[in-house]
Amino acid sequence: MKILLALCCLSLSAFAGAASDADLVAGRSSELSQKIPASHPRLLLRADELPALRSFLASQQAGNAPLAGLMLPAPEEAALIPQPEAVKNGSLEGSKRWREGYEAANAAGVMAQRHAFAWLLTQDAAQGREAARWLMHLAGWKIDRDTYRTNDELFIQHLRPMIFAYDWAHDALSPAERDTVRAALDARLSLLAAQIQPKFSLQQPSAPDNSLSHPMRFISTLGQGGLALLNESPRAAGWLAWSYEYYLRQFPVWGGDAGGWAEGMNYWSTGITQHQRFLEGMALLGFDAPLKRPFWRNTPYFAMYGQMPYGGSFFGDLTNIMAPTGSIALILEKAAVLNRDPYPLAFARSLAQQPPTKFPYYTYDAIDAFLARFRTAQAALPEANLASLPQSRYFDDIGVVMMHSALGDAAQDIMLGFRSSPQGSASHGFADQNSFVLNAFGEPLAINSGYREFYDSAHHVGWTRQTKAKNALLFGGEGQRIKDASARGRITRFADGAHFSFASGDATEAYAPNATLALRHVFFVDRRYFVILDEASAPAAVKFQWRLHARSEMKPDAAHNSVSLAQKSARLSVRFLQPASGQLEFSQSSAFEPPVASSYRKKMPDEWHFTAQTREAAPGTRFLVLLSPSREDDAAPPPAELIQTRQGHALRAGTDIVLIADEAVRRVEAADWALEGMAASFIRQTGRLRFALVDTTRLAGPVGIESDTPLSLEGERDATLMTLQLDAPRALTLQLRPGFAVKTVSGARQWQAEADGSIRATLDPGPQTLRLMK
C-alpha cells in the first residue's frame, strides 16, 4: 500500500506547482499527447492485444460460450433507428417518452459499437461497413444544447457508444467518413464540456449537491471522447486531461477514501460502471494513478457488505429491494483484477450471476463481460475465503455501518445496515439518518420503503424520500429535511469484534428544528440479535413514533409490547422493553401517503408500515428495542425482559444479559454488574462466560476490568483461563480480576500480581490477545 500511495503522490507532485485548473490541464495534456499511441484502438484495448483477444474469441467459440456469439452480430443492414425526440421528464407521460427517447438513442449507438467491435475482432469488411453506416447515421442527428437540457440521458446514451465505435472502427472508415464522424463528436463533446466542466474544480472538493449526479457520471464520457479524438481534435487533449485530473484529485462527490457512495447501492452500481470503464482504459495505456487512490481499492467492499446475494434492502434511491446483477458481479470482478485483490472476485462468484448479455447504458454490457473474461483469465488470481474478512465494516466517508454474521452466505447471514451520513439527504440520498435496514436468511425483513415511478413524482417526494418511510424515529410525526445536504447525521462510535458490532449515530442536526437530541445506538449481540437504544428529545412535549417497514403484513401484539413479521422462510421478532407495556400505541397500514401512481401499482405493490407511538406527549423518551431475526424452523426467540437498574438500561434475553448506557452518562448498574462504559453483553454457556465491552473504562462483577483509556474488547472466561481480544489505541495498563488466582499471563509487555489479587498488565499498541491462566 505504501508503494501505491507513493506512486499516486508522485503523479500528483509532478503538477504540484500548478496555479490553476488550466495549468493542471495544460501540463497533463502535453504528457498524454506525447505518451498515448497515435494508432487506434485506444478505448479499453490496445492494438498489441488484438492477436491474443482474437485467439480468446476462437477458444470461446470452440467451447460454445454464449458471450462469443454475441460479439459477432449479423452484418446485414438493419433498419436505422431514427433520431428520437427529446422530451423532458417530470410527469407520467413525459417520463414514458423521456425513457423511450434515451432507450432509442442507446440502441442506435450500440448498433455502431457492436459492429465496430466485431470488425476489430474479425477484420470482416461487412462488419466495418455496417459500423460506418450507423456512425454516419448518428453523425447526422441534430444534437444541440437544447437536446442536452431537455433529455441529457438521450444525449449521453447515443454519444458514449458512438465514441467507442469511432475508436474501434477507425481504420474501417474512409477518410471522408472519419472527418464527418469526428466533426460530429467534436461538436457534441464541446457541448458536453461546456455543461459539466464549470460544475467541478480540479483543486477544490465539490459539496454534495442535488444537481451533480448526472454531470459527475458524464465526466467519464468526456474523458473517453478526448481519448478517442486525441491528436485529431484541438480540444481533445484538454478534455482527456481535465477528466483524468478530476479522477486523480477530486472524484467522487458521493464518497471518499473508505469507498462508500452516499446515493446508495443502485447509483453506485450504475455510476461505477462508467467511471471504472474509463479508468481501466487509461490504466491499460499506462496511466493508472487514479486507480491507486484508496477509494478504488475500497469501493468494491461497499458492494460486498451492502449488496445481498438476493433481493435485499439498502439505503438510497431505487433500493427498497435490490437484487444482485451480472453487472454488479462484473464491477467486482474487474476491481479484483485491477487491484490484484481476490476477495471481490470471490464475492462476485458467490452472487451466482450470469454475465451480462444485453447492451444497456446504465450497467455493464456483453462486450464488457467478454473483455473482463479475457482479462480475468490472464490475471489468474488466487482463491479467497470471505469468512476470513471482518464481518462488519464502517464507511466513514458516507456514515454507513454494515454488520454481518456470515458475509456472502445467503442462507446463514444476518445483515443490518445503519446510516447516519455527513452528506445529508442530498441528490439520491434520503432523509434517513439513524435509520436501519435488516436482511436475514435470504430475505429482506426491515426495508427502505417506497418507490420511484419517475424522479420527483408525488409519491417519490412525499413518501420515498421522507423519514416516515424509513426504519427511524419521528418527533411528533415530523421527520428530517429532504434534498438537503445540511440535514446531516454522524456515526459517533463504531466498535467491532469477532462476535459483536456496535454503532452509535447522532441525527439531531437532520431533525432540526423538531429535535434537540436524536441518538441511536445499535448493538449486534453475539451476531445473533440486535439491541437498539434511541435517545430522543424535542423542544416541546410531543408524541414520538418508532417506525418499521416490511414487504409483508406484520403482527402487532400490544399485550406483549411486540411486533413480528414473516417474509417467506425468514422471521423477525421485535420486542419493546422501553417504553413499558401500556405506554405505547401500535398501528399498522399498507397504504402509502401519497400513494403510488395507479398505472404503476402492479409492479410497485403496497408495503406494510408499523408505528409504535408513545401514548403521552413528553419532551423526551427512550426506546429500548430487541430485534431477533430467525428462520422458520428455528426455535422461538428466548423470552426477553427488562432488568431493573440503578442507572442505565439492561435486559435479559434468555440467559444473556445486555447492558447499554445513555450517551451523556455512560454508566450502567444492574444485576451483578457495574459498567463504566457504553455497553456490554454477557453470554453464559456451560462452564464458560463470553463477554463484549464497548467504550469501557471499568467493569465490576464476576469479572473485573479497569483500563486507563476507554476500550472495546471481547473476552472469554472459564474456571482456569480468561482471554481478552482487543486493539489497543496506545500503550495502556489494565487492572484485571478474572475470579481465580492467576499464575501465568501471556500477551502483555509486562505484568504483576497486586496485593489484592488483581493483575496489573501493560500492553503495547495494536491488536493484542491477552491470556490469564490459573
pLDDT digits (tens, 9 = 90+) for 17-75: 567 999 999 999 999 999 999 999 999 999 999 999 999 999 999 998 899 999 999 99
- Quick check: is 149 in a domain? yes
Q: What is the pLDDT of residue 671?
A: 82
Tell me the mean pLDDT in the region 538-557. Answer: 98
Q: What is the pLDDT of residue 16?
A: 54
DSSP character at residue 707: E
Of 9-23, 626-640, 672-686, which range is least confident? 9-23
181-215, pLDDT tens digit by residue?
A: 999 999 999 999 999 999 999 999 999 999 999 99
The reported pLDDT for the residue numbered 556 is 98
Query: pLDDT (tens digit, 9 = 90+) per residue, 83-126?
Result: 999 999 999 999 999 999 999 999 999 999 999 999 999 999 99
Q: What is the largest CA-CA distance in the chain?
A: 95
pLDDT at 274 over 50: yes
Domain count within the chain: 5
Mean pLDDT of the residues in the chain: 96
Confidence bin at 338 (pLDDT 50/70/90): very high
Q: Which strand (E) or helix (H) includes residue 379?
A: helix 366-379
Are residues 274 and 316 both part of a single domain? yes
- What digits encode the pLDDT tens for the residues 438-452? 999 999 999 999 999
pLDDT of amino acid 7:
39
Tell whether 651 is covered by a domain.
no
| 85 within a domain of the structure (yes/no) | yes
Tell me if 180 is assigned to some domain: no
Residue 12's pLDDT band, with cuts at 50, 70 and 90, is low
Q: Are residues 245 and 169 in the same domain?
A: no
Mean pLDDT of 288-313: 98
Strand-pairing partners, residue 476, are none
- Residue 245: predicted pLDDT: 98
Of the candidates 564, 597, 631, which is a domain's last residue?
A: 631
d(CA 329, CA 604): 26
The C-alpha atoms of residue 763 and residue 497 are separated, in whole angstroms, by 18
Q: Which domain holds residue 731?
A: 674-773
Query: Are both 464 and 579 inside the same structural domain?
Result: yes
Together in a domain, 507 and 597: yes
Residue 697 has pLDDT above 60, yes or no: yes
User: Do 327 and 358 form a contact (C-beta atoms < 8 A)?
Assistant: no
The whole-model pTM stands at: 0.95
d(CA 326, CA 306): 16
> Is pLDDT of 354 > 70?
yes
Task: List alpha helices for 14-73, DSSP H.
Answer: 21-35, 50-62, 66-70
Residues 236, 263: one domain? Answer: no
Q: What is residue 767's DSSP assignment? A: E
The answer on 379 and 258 residing in a single domain is yes
Cell numbers found for residue 214: 448526472
Domain end point (choices 221, 250, 279): 250
Are 469 and 606 members of one domain? yes
Overall average pLDDT of the 157-186 stretch: 98
Q: What is the pLDDT of residue 19?
A: 77
Shared domain for 429 and 468, answered yes or no, is: yes
Q: How confident is the model at residue 5 (pLDDT cuts 50, 70, 90)?
A: very low
Regarding whether 492 and 438 lie in a shared domain, the answer is yes
Residue 51 lies in a domain: yes
Residue 658 resides in a domain? no
**CA-to-CA distance for 42 and 120, rounded, in angstroms?**
12
Q: Do 569 and 441 touch, CB atoms closer than 8 A?
A: yes
| Residue range 362-384, pLDDT digits in tens | 999 999 999 999 999 889 999 99
Q: Are residues 508 and 521 in the same domain?
A: yes
Share of the chain above pLDDT 70, in %: 98
Domain assignment present for residue 181? The answer is no
Here the CATH number for the domain that contains residue 333 is 1.50.10.100
Q: Is residue 656 part of a domain?
A: no
| H-only helix segments in 422-542 | 458-459, 508-511
pLDDT at 15: 56
In this prediction, residue 17 carries a pLDDT of 56
pLDDT over 90 for what percent of the chain? Answer: 96
Residues 244 and 264 in one domain: no
Regarding whether 767 and 738 lie in a shared domain, the answer is yes
